[in-house]
Structure 1
């Protein structure tokens, strides 16, 4: 069977450094930190008092009051970013065969704030179960693609992938294969997350996973730096329109890039910690290159998972060296989490978008906040430190890993 080619024809983003694609890209290339003290609740008693919240986001700009009340923030973010991507794609929704349009979305947690608030309200009451009738529909992770499809009438495959922080990368790979196999012409894909909540910050804090650099929030997310002490929690969404190549060409669509391939693997090692030698990460990149029919020396840029954790950053860079050998020193390696924080289930989507935009503009966004050299990291690696670098990126790879040992890797290339 001849697999169909798949391209990206639309992008949408809602991030801590920009509420649309243009703002997001401006934040990336200018090395803007999205981290600041938490405003959503009183964090005084928490170990970590900062996060990468959205700035100037108002649901009233996108939803009427009644609709907004029925949507958890993670679903709102999904719909806003998907609408931008659909508009950017210039798809004609009136003539499109909507039975051949799917929505495959990633979310690692889903409606955490909704769940938290309903339980707190019950606990504060007299024991009578007075739950909001929208509690379950607002909370469940699959409601984001459900709402996107309902709004636009898309009747192809519709579901959510859940693999912790790898969720939206998994969604992109599923969307790729759905179109490759001829089941759809178009898939709206990506991911969203809204876990900057009492429960989210408290839970990750109890795991000692978060940075506690409360004296300097803006510099807290510092991948590859010797003094990194944990990740910074972020929120938001990223959306991509994936389309069968001939379908896109026939309607004269702008093509950002080709989705060349995707890879998956499992660490099968530990619930939260990466394998110290990065065995699963080595395999996922090898699987991705094989799926794309590309060689290691073809890759120009890698947006790492790079969460700013002591173990994870080193393990990933070791894996890159194993896969790419000496060519690793010729690759622009970066971590855009240094600016956006870690968007959990949405990370793969917004970082894939960053890779695609780097290809389009010929600029690799920086890894900011790097001050101290880590002796455990190969000094010959170009980690694109502190300042964006011009580069003709023909092939870009994006890594995303999740608690449970889930590894996902997506590779994009300039269209021929």
Structure 2
């Protein structure tokens, strides 16, 4: 059961701000303010500009915890700070009171990508080993390494979000870190559900954080992936499923849930916002033949529907009532075609499909944090209207999906979220309003 929600996003740092921004068609994509663009082919991305790293961004905290987090920020890069902040916001939103939780049975499962160090970490050391513009590696051990902060690595380890969250809140139960790029959030939630279901924990803080807005990470993305070209209006750069799309947009953010067993949530009188019905994952590479991503998307869709049938949420046979699909919607030409093809493979023609939307037209690709931010957006919209796909003016004829293009489409009472990595690791999560 989902009993608390926290989010850091390019559209704001509350679930309400996020959903309102999506419904109003706002875009978080704008000129970069955090990184230099001289060596980049792009100059725009989706920064979580409302997150400054100030202690107030972590929500209401006791004075002792405020001091602890301020001290810990010295060994937290921005990606980790956003992840910790989302978790603290989720704990506060869920009414976390340590007296109502068994610390030994409350833990953390967090998704994160590999985190790249900032060049500034090594600048002084490199300068000490450079003469007349030439770097002498033989001097590194004696002259360079001593100039590097001995704690620098702690700022960039992908297991540190889960570590900090557990330490700050004295959560002594299961602790796990998932590093599967864009599939991280779905995989983390799947691990959390399994951990609680098998009786190893009563409650878990589950989330994911990611940033592709980074001096080196953005450069790597521009060299390894197809990014959208700059436009006069940056908000037009991400165009999922549109015939004119030309690539993805880098973004940043984090999201977190407080998850509990039904018994534990009811015992403490918690408000239940959602129920995780089923999770599924797959890994399909080039060896699978043409369009491996299409196979990956289809695998997790079939897997999550089958799991839903097995636990009684869906009928054993016949049509399954899915309120909507929150697609990966990368805005990459080939990836969108594969995803749309998989949705058609599983659900049939658009008239037989659930409505399909995505937030990446507003937020870009947040990397490991994408799935969690998207799940929060969809969860907030249940039993109300769904947000349309931004910048979808002409649906690609190769993407036969029931695309949401207006604000009057009901979101239904449940949804499936999809995410995939360039390497074909795919996750799907099915979430419903509590039954």
Q: CA deviation at 1:141?
A: 0.1
Asked if structure 2 preserves the Cα contact closer than 8 Å seen for 1:297 and 1:324, the reply is no
Match of residue 216 from structure 1: 233
The answer to whether 1:275 aligns with 2:291 is yes
Q: CA RMSD in A?
A: 2.0
Once the two structures are superposed, the pairs formed by residues 87-236 of structure 1 within 5 Å of their partners are: 87-110=92-115, 112=116, 114-126=117-129, 127=140, 128-129=144-145, 130-236=147-253
Q: Which runs of 5+ in 1 are unaligned?
A: 1-6
Unmatched 5+ stretches in structure 2: 57-65, 130-139
- Could you say what secondary structure the match of 2:279 adopts? strand
Q: 1:303 to 1:120 in 2, by over 3 A?
A: farther
Quickly say closer, same or farther: Cα 1:105–1:247, change in 2 above 3 A. same
TM-score, structure 2 length as denominator? 0.88
> CA deviation digits over 1:73-100, x for unaligned, max 9?
1111011111111111112212310111
Deviates more, 1:390-399 or 1:284-293: 390-399
- Paired residues of 2:35 and 2:213 also in contact (CA < 8 A): no
Q: SS in structure 1 opposite 2:181?
A: coil
| 2:90 aligned residue | 85
Residue 356 of structure 1: SS of its match in structure 2? helix
Q: Distance in 2 between matches of 1:121 and 1:40?
A: 21
- Relative to structure 1, the CA distance from residue 59 to residue 290 in structure 2 (aligned partners, 3 Å threshold; closer, same or farther) is same
TM-score (norm 1): 0.92
Match of 1:59 among 46, 53, 56: 53
Output the CA distance in 1 between the equivalents of 2:255 and 2:210: 10
Of the structure 1 ranges 153-162 and 208-217, higher mean CA displacement relative to structure 2 is found in 208-217
Q: Matches of 1:286 and 1:123 in 2, distance apart?
A: 52
Q: Which residue of 1 aligns with 2:283?
A: 266
Shift in Å at residue 132 of structure 1?
1.0
Distance change (3 Å), C-alpha of 1:246 and 1:366 = same
Counterpart contact for 1:105–1:190, Cα < 8 Å: yes
Q: 1:382 aligns with which of 370, 377, 402?
A: 402
Choose from 364, 371, 386 the match for 2:393. Answer: 371
Q: Secondary structure at the match of 2:403?
A: coil
Deviations along 1:278-331, whole A, 9 cap, x unmatched?
A: 112111111111112235531120000110000011110110011112476441
Separation of aligned partners in 2, 1:136 and 1:287: 38
* Contact 1:304–1:334 (CA under 8 A) maintained in structure 2: yes
Q: In structure 1, what is the equivalent of residue 340 of structure 2?
A: 317
* Structure 1 residue 270 displacement after superposition: 7.2
Is the contact between residue 274 and residue 315 of structure 1 (CA under 8 Å) also seen in structure 2?
no
Equivalent position SS for 1:225 = coil
Asked if 1:243 is matched to 2:260, the reply is yes
Given that 2:4 and 2:93 are in contact with CA atoms closer than 8 Å, whether structure 1 keeps it comes out as yes
Given candidates 4, 18, 28, the residue that maps to 1:24 is: 18
Instruction: Choose 1 or 2 for highest CA Rg.
Output: 2
Residues 382-406 of structure 1 show CA distances to partners (whole Å, capped at 9, x for unaligned) of 3112x43341512210001113210
The answer (yes or no) to whether the contact 2:304–2:429 under 8 Å persists in 1 is: yes
3-state secondary structure, aligned to 1:151: helix
Q: Residue 386 of structure 2 contacts residue 411 of structure 2 at CA under 8 Å; is this kept in 1?
A: no
